[in-house]
């Protein structure tokens, strides 16, 4: 299959730069050599951060060793929200500019983002049990993250709910854009409502409220989680493109017979 097939439907008025990145063949040539290295670095960063945080970083003065679960919970939460923001951006490109790779990217972001959101919810529940005496409370932060998980699942389901894949992509994109309003609710829920969940420990404006000996391994874990997320998404996109090329080639061969 010609690598320009998927990009042929992109309107010319969207600009040459969009045409450049819309080419699936060019995407494959750029991503495939990087994927093994990205996977290796993400694994090293994640393992190093977790070992640093669980074995060498000090325990929290108030919550003790139970707070060490933050080295999984916090990066998973950040990646879950960032992943949904990426999903919303891809949906915008799909609806407004008909970007040919936007639908593929959105479809592959969904399962990975849902997985990280699930890790966030489970780790948060395990952290909540010793701190609150319950695995789950209908706290504003917890509830909004649960809604995020359902939005991911809804996006995945909508894509597969239509016989016409284009209709599924369009419906899922609308859901993703509408659900983006949940992101600021998650971020500011601890400020807008009286919640059991602690306030934001790290913020761009307010700096960090934890010791550097705990912050550094947390940042290393976060880098590992983000790189893992990007690696998995790019690998899934590359596989989806190859699958479509193979299916198109088989169909063309069958038509020639």
The winner for highest mean pLDDT among 2-11, 15-24, 87-96, 197-206 is 87-96
For residue 206, the model assigns a pLDDT of 56
For residue 44, the model assigns a pLDDT of 98
Region 131-150: mean pLDDT is 91
DSSP bridge partners of 208 = 202
The stretches of 64-164 forming alpha helices (DSSP H) are 70-92, 100-132, 140-159
Binned at pLDDT 50, 70 and 90, residue 82 comes out as: very high
For residue 6, the model assigns a pLDDT of 45
18-50, pLDDT tens digit by residue? 556 667 778 888 888 999 999 999 999 999 999
Query: What are 99's two structure tokens?
Result: 């970007």
Give the DSSP letter string of 158-210. HHTS-SSHHHHHHHHHHHHHHHTTHHHHHHHHHHHS--SS---SEETTTEE-S
165-185, pLDDT tens digit by residue? 889 999 999 999 999 999 999
For residue 1, the model assigns a pLDDT of 43
| CA–CA dist 132, 149 (Å, integer) | 22
Q: Which residue has the higher pLDDT, 45 or 205?
A: 45
For residue 3, the model assigns a pLDDT of 45
Lowest mean pLDDT among 84-93, 111-120, 189-198: 189-198
**Average model confidence (pLDDT) for the chain?**
86
Lowest mean pLDDT among 38-47, 61-70, 243-252: 243-252
| CA–CA dist 73, 121 (Å, integer) | 8
Binned at pLDDT 50, 70 and 90, residue 256 comes out as: confident
Query: How distant, in Å, are the alpha carbons of 66, 122, 174 from that of 76?
Result: 17, 10, 25
Buried b (16+ CB within 10 A) or exposed e, 13-51: eeeeebbeebbbbebbeebeeeeeebbeebeebbeebbe
**pTM exceeds 0.85 for this model:** yes
Query: What are 178's two structure tokens?
Result: 């509408």
DSSP letter at 1 equals -
pLDDT of 9 over the 70 cut: no
Binned at pLDDT 50, 70 and 90, residue 208 comes out as: low
For residue 52, the model assigns a pLDDT of 96
Q: Which residue has the higher pLDDT, 98 or 162?
A: 162
Lowest mean pLDDT among 69-78, 123-132, 177-186, 226-235: 123-132
pLDDT of 204 over the 70 cut: no
Buried b (16+ CB within 10 A) or exposed e, 186-196: beebbeeeebe
Binned at pLDDT 50, 70 and 90, residue 7 comes out as: very low
Query: What are 4's two structure tokens?
Result: 């320009």
């Amino acid at each position: 299959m010609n690598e320009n097939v998927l990009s042929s439907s992109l309107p010319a008025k969207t600009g040459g730069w969009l045409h450049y990145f819309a080419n699936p063949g060019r995407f494959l040539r750029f991503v495939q050599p990087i994927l093994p290295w990205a996977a290796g670095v993400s694994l090293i960063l994640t393992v190093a951060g977790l070992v640093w945080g669980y074995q060498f970083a000090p325990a929290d003065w108030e919550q003790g060793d139970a707070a060490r679960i933050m080295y999984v919970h916090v990066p998973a939460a950040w990646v879950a929200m960032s992943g949904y923001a990426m999903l919303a951006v891809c949906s915008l490109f799909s609806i407004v500019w008909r970007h040919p790779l936007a639908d593929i990217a959105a479809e592959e972001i969904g399962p990975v983002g849902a997985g990280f959101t699930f890790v966030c919810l489970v780790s948060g529940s395990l952290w909540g049990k010793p701190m609150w005496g319950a695995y789950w409370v209908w706290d504003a932060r917890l509830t909004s993250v649960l809604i995020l998980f359902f939005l991911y699942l809804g996006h995945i389901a909508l894509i597969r709910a239509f016989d016409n894949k284009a209709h599924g992509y369009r419906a899922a994109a609308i859901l993703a854009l509408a659900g983006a309003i949940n992101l600021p609710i998650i971020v500011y829920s601890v400020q807008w409502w009286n919640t059991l969940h602690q306030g934001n420990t790290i913020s761009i404006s307010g700096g960090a409220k934890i010791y550097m000996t705990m912050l550094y391994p947390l940042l290393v874990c976060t880098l590992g989680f983000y790189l893992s997320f990007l690696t998995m998404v790019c690998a899934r996109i590359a596989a989806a493109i190859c699958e479509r090329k193979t299916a198109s080639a088989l169909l063309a061969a069958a038509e020639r017979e």
